[in-house]
A and B are shown apart, each in its own frame.
Chain A
Amino acid sequence: MAKIKGFVELNIEHCKGCELCVDACPFDVLEMSAQVNGKGYTYPFMKNPEQCTGCASCALVCPDVVITVYKVPTKQ
């Protein structure tokens, strides 16, 4: 079975660094960056992009709706 692949785009300027997406990810894809955005908050980045399946768990719990999720459709 082919692995499902996906990735996330982050609107980092709207992120408030709550780290809920890092906790919510079931595949340990996201990690908080050492850098800060314009407001002074740290923001997440994809540490293990190849592990991402586009399940959108991070986007569902994100309180500031900064995450856009992309997924490669599985071929039938």
Chain B
Amino acid sequence: MAVDIEQYKKDLLAQGAEVVFSKTKNLTDTPFSYCGGCGHGVAHRLIMEVIEEMGITADTIGVAPVGCAVIAYEFWNIDAVQAAHGRATAVATGIKRTNPEKFVFSYQGDGDLAAIGTAETVHTCNRGENIAIFFINNGIYGMTGGQMAPTSLIGMRSSTAPYGRQHDVHGYPLSLTNLLAELPGTYYVTRQAVETAAHVRTCKKAIRQAFENQKLNKGVSLVEIVTNCNSGWKMTAPQANKWMKENMFPQYPLGDIKVPKTE
């Protein structure tokens, strides 16, 4: 080995090296239960970092979904509750209405928000509840073993569509985020990704915006995060990110879908 790493680190510390990035205190020491390379970990970290930076750790209540993130409350060092399948936005509505001064968010996957919870999600957005919804879209049911989700792409293989999704049998990919952006109850709707450092930075800004919007009392802030599911897609993590760029992003283009009008 050319350079002694430990000695190099000591030298830089002696030169005054400072910590520029470390794990946020709002994440517990419990290791994530997710597969290596899963986007859930980055999404958890970004939400918790935003909460720490805004200084609202004691005033935030999260609602965990059913899915891979079902035990998200083990990893979040904040108050959290776990809702029945698809009903996270309904639970978040109740929490926000009884504690209007608290910051409330729901964290849901695509099987939770876009499949079984479609009715709750649509009506929460239609009522314009003053909550933030974080929607993790990986186009597959990850926890139960890679079944087809409403958000699966045409031609995408899964354990319940082994020859690929066909539109005449299984229907078309459901982009619930675009549908919800049409509703007057939503205030801020955006779609982000977390696979590169640049996208992580813009995603964090969007999450921050979603929390800031709760102070305004104007309606739902919805942040969709397109992520990978390398286990469900049967790929390595770098392959899954490449596949996501080539296939998921054309179907789910990144960017703001509905931004608040500046007056």
- Chain A contacts to B: CB under 8 angstroms: 5-7, 9, 14-20, 23-24, 41, 45-46, 49-50, 54-57, 59-65, 67-73
Contact = CB atoms under 8 A, between A and B. Distances in A.
A14 B32 CA distance: 8
A70 B20 contact: yes
Query: What bracket does the count of chain B residues touching chain A fall in?
Result: 35 or more
B146 interface: no
Contacts of A14: 31
Contact of B42 (A9, A46, A63): A63
B36 A17 contact: yes
B20 A61 contact: no
Contacts of B34: 63-64
Contact of B17 (A7, A18, A24, A45): A7
A24 to B, nearest CB: 6
B197 A70 contact: no
A69 B37 contact: no
A49 B17 CA distance: 14
Interface string B25-41: 00100011011111111
A64 B9 contact: no
Contacts of A72: 12, 15-18
Contact of B37 (A5, A7, A20, A71): A20
A65 to B, nearest CB: 5
Given A7-B9, A7-B17, A49-B8, A18 B237 contact: yes
A19 B243 CA distance: 16
B38 to A, nearest CB: 5
Given A14-B31, A16-B35, A64-B32, A70 B12 contact: yes
Interface in B186-201: 194-197, 200-201
B20 A69 contact: yes
Interface centre among B13, B32, B34, B197, by most chain A C-beta atoms within 10 angstroms, is: B197
Given A18-B237, A20-B237, A41-B36, A70 B13 contact: yes
Contacts of B21: 56, 59-60, 67-69
